[in-house]
Amino acid sequence: MEYRILGNTALKLSTITYGAFAIGGNMWGGNEKKDSIDAIHASLDNGVTSIDTAPFYGFGLSEEMIGEALKGKDRSKVQLLTKFGLVWDGSNKGKGEFFFEAENEGKTIPVFKFTSKENIIKELEESLKRLKTDYIDLLQLHWPDATTPISETMEALELLIRQGKIRAGGVSNYTLDQMHEAQKTIALASDQVSYSMLNREIEKDLIPYAIENNIGIIAYSPMERGLLTGKYFKEGKLKNSDHRNGYFSQFDLEKVKTFLEKITPVAESKNASLSQLVLRWTTLQKGITIVLAGARNAEQALANAQAMSFDLSHEELAFINSALSEI
């Protein structure tokens, strides 16, 4: 495993970071608690020291399971990354920006983006309780909220850093303009954004800005929610409640399938899976600090960690990029 410093902070994170969205269950067709906790343990046992989660993942369930999984572990050797700003329980009292309706246990739940100072402080305390810790290593805004001034949100992060409740403050899903505005109040640690072989838009302006300003980039959905594993083309069936049924429709699936077939020999030459090859490629892209990889069981977690066990030559990277250009 490699470890990288996040932006302008003192945080040293594992290049492959455990992404805990799927173990929350909601939007992923459910989950198995034992398998989820085993996945976290397997990650820690194989060099993955950083875990990224959010209150919204499973409506608190993901954070709770992480807290349970870390019981008895040395907290100083684990970096906890969580978020704030998605509210679903009505505590926003009609404020904020409506986002979407989520399904949970057969119920439809309205979710709002709400990043007021008061709400951030409230959410942090709830996360600390669920995670069974007294500080968060990186607290991130989950999605921009058009109803709250960016300066107010950033001031809340500054306050929490001064209080010692968080070690660093970052954002997720921020555009370049929003980053510029946030930087007027706080030196951001990072921006967590969607990035994959099939989604490289941030290379145009966000990554150059992040490099110039020493801001970390945390890449999420590097596997495009499982599409780049290749399994979808062999199995093809997802549970009806799985959001990926609609998500995958944005891609030219035939071209994606052809691309994966082209790069499979590279993976085989490394004794690696397609998933591991895709993860390793992502970690080697300019400006990418760490890469999130989800796992629902110990086997998947081990495979993710082992993606850092091999390297890719300039020639191999050029071959992959050439094949990508044909999608």
CA-to-CA distance for 320 and 22, rounded, in angstroms?
28
Query: Contact at 8 Å (CB) between 221 and 196?
Result: yes
Residue 145 in contact with residue 173, Cβ under 8 Å?
Answer: no
Catalytic residue among 18, 57, 174, 232: 57
Say how far apart CA 53 and CA 156 lie, in whole Å: 20
Q: What is the C-alpha to C-alpha distance for residues 244 and 183, in angstroms, rounded to an integer?
A: 34
Could you identify the residue written with the tokens 């990354």? Answer: 81
Amino acid at 18: Y
The rounded Cα 73 to chain-centroid distance in angstroms is 22
**Distance (Å, whole) CA 280 – CA 267:** 10
Establish how many alpha carbons lie within 13 A of residue 301's alpha carbon, considering only the half-sphere containing its beta carbon: 26
- Whether 57 is a known active-site residue: answer yes
Provide the annotated active-site residues. Answer: 57
